[in-house]
Chain A
Amino acid sequence: MYKKFKKHLTYYLSLILVLSLGFILIFISSPNIIMQSAILLLTVFFYVLWGTLHHHLNHELTAKIMIEYVLIGLLGTSIIFFFIMGGLI
């Protein structure tokens, strides 16, 4: 795990940076739920893009991997959507 992290250090650091930026922006825009949702979608988009781009650059991108990133992104979005619709608005 550590080896993998070290091997793709730049990628992981940039990913953490993107996700942290999304988190900070969502935190700052609280309690504006519309703005928070927009930032969330943007963060998810960058997450999927970052993941697929990284695999593409490492010559290991397959349709399966791409679908996995899209599905993970959608699942995360759907869970937040579930919370917002079910409890907030």
Chain B
Amino acid sequence: MKNFLHHFFLPHIKNNYRPKLLQHKVLFVLTLFFFSSGFLMHYVRNNYPAVLGTFSDISNQQLLILTNEKRQESGLGPLSLNQTLSQAAANKATDMFSKDYWAHIAPDGTTPWVFIKSSGYNYVYAGENLARGYSSAPDVVSAWMASSEHRKNMLSSNYSDVGFSVSTGKLSGEDTVLVVEMLGSTYLASAPVAKEENKPAQEVVTADKPVAAQEKLVLLPTLTPTPLPTQAPQVNTLGVQKDNSLNKLATINNGSVGSVKPLVNGLSLSLVTARGVVSLIIFILILDMVIIERKKIVRFVGHNLDHVFFFALMFFILLILARGVII
């Protein structure tokens, strides 16, 4: 075993002063292995999602706790998990998957506020944060907190309610975990004295600039007193999709129902393998370079330093591809 490792990873006379791992045959076999494994994993993921699939452990409850922790640290009151806003978030996620877009405003011009209103949430203030490609709730909340616009949304005193949707589906051909956070406050919530009375409703004045993830004042009070519209009856938003055709496009987790945890998480497996191999190759290249330099052996091979730079680039590309994105 020791001899094998020595032969495979270190330059010495028996391998012609070039580790077996860096010799053409092995490089070729490794290349074939990764190309064919990629195809194989893709096939298994598509045909046996219970074995190999995309899954995230993000739950509504975790997101709520973490968000409220951040608010508490800033001296703000906690947000309440609102089922109507969660339904709006789930509808938004389904819309994004079905129309295949990654934006606050749909290609057909549908704004987030349409989803909130159609769910029956009569807001005074409303906001939306989006995240994709994250595998844990702390990562999502940290990413939002690191962005001034998203942070402003999360730490706004204008909001009293929040709704979340965590869904998996294909976005631009990519299997992704999508997190939608809808924040809002109703007139009643923002003016507690009005709770017992039929207070004036609000006239809709949409902000001109549809800036993503920014806190939006979308309603302004009017002088005309009109009765508050009745709230739409609440439906169970946790993991329920009414439209069966949309169900095929995405799986709404919402932290509890509707998600099947695969035996192996394809994303984690491929990422750990790819990072591991790239790191190992970089290590072997540096080791080879140092040993050959010290022994002053003359070889006619490519510059190891070139390959180190190249594989370092591959490592960073893996980091970019695996990282989550927020808007």
Binding site for B on A (CB under 8 A): 1, 4-5, 8, 12, 15-16, 19, 22-23, 26-27, 30-34, 36, 40, 43, 47, 51, 55, 60, 62, 64-65, 67-69, 71-76, 78-89
> Known: A12-B305, A43-B313, A86-B266. Is A31-B133 also a contact (CB below 8 A)?
yes
* Residue pair A4, B305 in contact (C-beta under 8 Å): yes
Q: Could you say which residues of chain A place their CB within 8 Å of the CB of B102?
A: 31
Cα distance A84–B290 when bound, in Å?
33
Taking each of A19, A22, A43, A60, which has the highest tally of chain B beta carbons within 10 Å of its own beta carbon?
A19
A-B contact pairs, 21 of them (CB 8 A): A1-B290, A12-B305, A12-B309, A30-B325, A31-B102, A31-B174, A33-B173, A33-B321, A51-B302, A67-B24, A78-B35, A79-B278, A82-B38, A85-B38, A86-B270, A86-B273, A87-B41, A87-B54, A87-B271, A88-B174, A89-B175
CB of B48 within 8 A of chain A?
A: no
A83 touches B270 (CB 8 A): yes
Which of B26-34, B104-112, B149-157, B244-252 makes up part of the contact surface?
B26-34
Q: Mark B148-192, 1 if CB is under 8 A from A, else 0.
A: 000000000000000000000010111100000000000000000
A31–B172 CA distance with the chains assembled, in angstroms: 9
Asked if A47 and B303 make an inter-chain contact with CB atoms under 8 angstroms apart, the answer reads no
For residue B289, which residues in chain A have a CB less than 8 angstroms away from its CB?
Answer: 1
Report whether A86 and B37 are in contact in the complex, using a CB–CB cutoff of 8 Å.
yes
CA distance A4 to B281 in the complex (A): 21
Q: A69-B302, A84-B321, A89-B173 are in contact. Are A75 and B34 (CB under 8 A)?
A: yes
Determine the chain B residues whose CB is within 8 A of the CB of A55 once the complex forms.
302
Interface of A is mostly: helix
How far does the alpha carbon of A8 sit from the alpha carbon of B303 in the complex, in Å? 10
Question: Does A30 contact B38, Cβ atoms closer than 8 Å?
Answer: no
A9, B305: Cα distance in complex, Å: 12
- Could you tell me which B residues sit within 8 Å of A by CB distance? 24, 27-28, 30-35, 37-39, 41-42, 45, 54, 102, 132-133, 170, 172-175, 266-271, 273-274, 277-278, 281, 289-290, 293, 300-303, 305-307, 309-314, 316-318, 320-323, 325
Are B301 and A65 touching (Cβ within 8 A)? yes
Task: List the B residue with the shortest CB-CB distance to A1.
Answer: B293
Bound Cα distance from A17 to B118, whole angstroms:
51
In Å, the complex CA distance between A43 and B24 comes to: 21
Contacts of B132 in A (CB 8 A): 31
When distances are taken between beta carbons in the complex, the residues of chain A under 8 Å from B301 are 64-65, 68
Assuming the A-B contacts A33-B172, A78-B31, A81-B34, are A5 and B313 also in contact, with contact meaning beta carbons closer than 8 angstroms in the complex? no
- Residue of B34, B266, B290, B322 near A79 (CB, 8 A) is B34
Chain A residues near B322 (CB-CB < 8 A)? 83, 87
Determine whether the beta carbon of A87 is less than 8 Å from that of B309: no
Q: Is the CB of B303 within 8 A of A80?
A: no
Minimum distance in angstroms from B167 CB to a CB of chain A: 16
